[in-house]
Amino acid sequence: MTRPVHRAAPATDTPIRQGSLRAHNLDLTFRQIVGARRAPISRSELATVTGLTRPTISRIVDELLAGGLIVEAGPARSGNSGRPRVGLNLAPTGPAGLGLDIRVDALSACVVDLTGAVRHLEFVPHTQRDAGPEETLRSLAAMATEANRAAAADGLTVVGATLAVPGPVQDGSVVRFAPTLGWRDVDAGAALRSRIGPAELPVLVDNDARLAALGELYASEQELRNFVCVSGEFDIGAGIVLAGAPFVGSRGWSGELGHVMVESDGQLCSCGATGCLQCYAGIQQILAAVPAGRHPGPAAARQSPAVVIDGLVSAGSPEILAALDRAGQALGIAISALVNLVDVDTVLLGGSYSLLASWLTEGIERELRTRVATSAWAPVEVRPAPLGPDAAVIGAALSAVDKVRRDPNSWLARVQQGEGGWPRQTA
């Protein structure tokens, strides 16, 4: 295979020398193994897809095996010859990511390994309304320490932690504005870093809707490339994925779908504007449509709002059906704006919406058909998000381990320096 000299060169701002050439080719090879999505791939297949020589591939594979990033698995996908070939796969031991999430009714923690498998998932009942940021962050830190211990017992090394929050985050640390939590300018990253050991463990904070979209991206068996995952939890947020990568906007504040106007002269929102989507399709707002006397008994207080709504629908509450209808239409208007502006072809209903999808989809689709300029020849698909309310915490864990997927060379350099991954274990 020869390539013409004038082929477009990789667009980077680094000159390429021998050392980085080695790193580049290792990176390229590793990405093929990541891209094979748990299907074992052989050394000869790697040589074919990368265009690198067999000896180069052999050297790289040895390096990846020694660094604990890959393992030899069962036979690779059948080739032309009858000879069985050894398949290579991502290592189920080795680097792992830790995710944390604040839900309406619980806190959750999650550990995901390099293959993307969930190895640990825990919930602790928690009512944010009664707890300040201090208490909530302390509880999250305790869960993180426990999850880290569980990961170590499974032979995993946690390489980073990410907290999902409902609102825009600055510098990967400060929650600027999360009205439904009652948080404003809370440096959640610093608070967690001071409590989760060791000091060198990277701890980041990110938007929950964006992390949920990342979770759904990895979980998608159909290899979704362009979609929005609309999460209804505390707030309504949109995680946008374009060309298989999360879309963050210029400052990481994209996807504030809950504050798109859907009603002229509408209700006053907690953000200070009127007629925001949040006022008509927020989970709490849907529930508020039911008169107090018709609410289910105290047993429901420990259930998630989506489960309560589902119960009310089953009981035939006309108020809840009307509220869901209005929510579906409002979601449809706002999502139409998103599709018109950002251009995605698939809408996943995530978070609590995944549990209520059968009551919301029709109204959303009706608005999309009417309002999306390109819908006549390119209809938008709407469906429930497979991971549902767990997507944000799984996505948070994935985002923490993803840096090893994207930059295997840094991990290998650490291992070679005898550091055994970024953080020393606390357990």
| Radius of gyration over every alpha carbon of the chain, rounded to an integer in angstroms | 23
Q: How far is the CB of 247 from a second copy (least distance, A)?
A: 8
Instruction: Select 126 or 210, whichever has its Cβ closest to a second copy.
Output: 210
Binding flag, residue 44, a second copy (CB under 8 A): no
Q: Is 371 in the site for a second copy (CB under 8 A)?
A: yes
Name the burial class of residue 245, with classes exposed (0-12), middle (13-18) and buried (19+) by CB atoms within 10 angstroms of its CB: exposed
Q: Does 222 engage in binding with a second copy (CB under 8 A)?
A: no
Do 335 and 230 meet the contact criterion of CB atoms below 8 Å apart? yes
Phi, psi angles (nearest 5°) of residue 165: -130, 150
Binder to a second copy among 28, 71, 106, 152 (CB under 8 A)?
Answer: 28
Stretch that binds a second copy, among 71-79, 119-127, 262-270, 349-357 (CB under 8 A): 262-270
Burial of 409 (0-12, 13-18, 19+ CB in 10 A): middle
106 counts as binding a second copy under rule CB under 8 A: no
Give Cα 371 to chain centroid, integer Å.
Answer: 28
CB atoms within 10 A of CB 10: 7
11 lies in the site for a second copy, by CB under 8 A: yes
Distance in Å, CB of 6 to a second copy, minimum: 4
Residue 331 is given by DSSP the state H
Check whether the bond before 92 is cis (ω within 30° of 0): no
Structure tokens at 309: 């709504």
Residues binding a second copy: number (CB under 8 A): 87
The single residue among 257, 290, 324, 401 that binds a second copy, judged by CB under 8 A, is 257
Alpha-carbon gap, residue 281 to 332, rounded angstroms: 10
Q: How far is the CB of 280 from a second copy (least distance, A)?
A: 11
276 forms beta bridges with 261
When binding is defined by CB under 8 A, the residue of 74, 297, 299, 377 that contacts a second copy is 377
* 174-178 and 86-90 strand pairing: unpaired
How many whole angstroms separate alpha carbon 74 and alpha carbon 125?
41
Residue 268 β-bridge partners: 274
Site for a second copy in 118-177 (CB under 8 A): 168, 176-177
Cβ of residue 248: shortest distance to a second copy, in angstroms? 8
In the complex with a second copy, which residue's Cβ is closer, 120 or 210? Answer: 210
The single residue among 205, 260, 320, 400 that binds a second copy, judged by CB under 8 A, is 260
Query: Which stretch in 27-35, 114-122, 210-218, 356-364 sits in contact with a second copy by CB under 8 A?
Result: 27-35
Please, which of residues 267-296 interact with a second copy by CB under 8 A?
271-276
With left for phi above 0 and alpha for psi between -120 and 50, is residue 335 left, alpha or beta?
alpha
Token pair of 264 as six digits: 């002229």
Considering beta carbons, is residue 203 or 262 the nearer one to a second copy? 262
CB 118 → a second copy: shortest distance, Å? Answer: 27
Among 37, 44, 48, 52, interactor with a second copy by CB under 8 A: 52
Q: What is the C-alpha to C-alpha distance for residues 121 and 31, in angstroms, rounded to an integer?
A: 27
3-state SS assignment for residue 221: coil
Q: How far is the CB of 121 from a second copy (least distance, A)?
A: 30
Contact, 179 vs 168, CB < 8 A?
A: no
Nearer to a second copy, 14 or 80 (CB): 14
In the complex, the smallest distance separating the C-beta of residue 368 from a second copy, rounded to whole angstroms, is 10
Q: Could you say which of 252, 296, 384, 386 contacts a second copy (CB under 8 A)?
A: 252
Using CB under 8 A as the binding rule, the residues of this chain from 298 to 357 that contact a second copy are 333-334, 336-338, 340-345
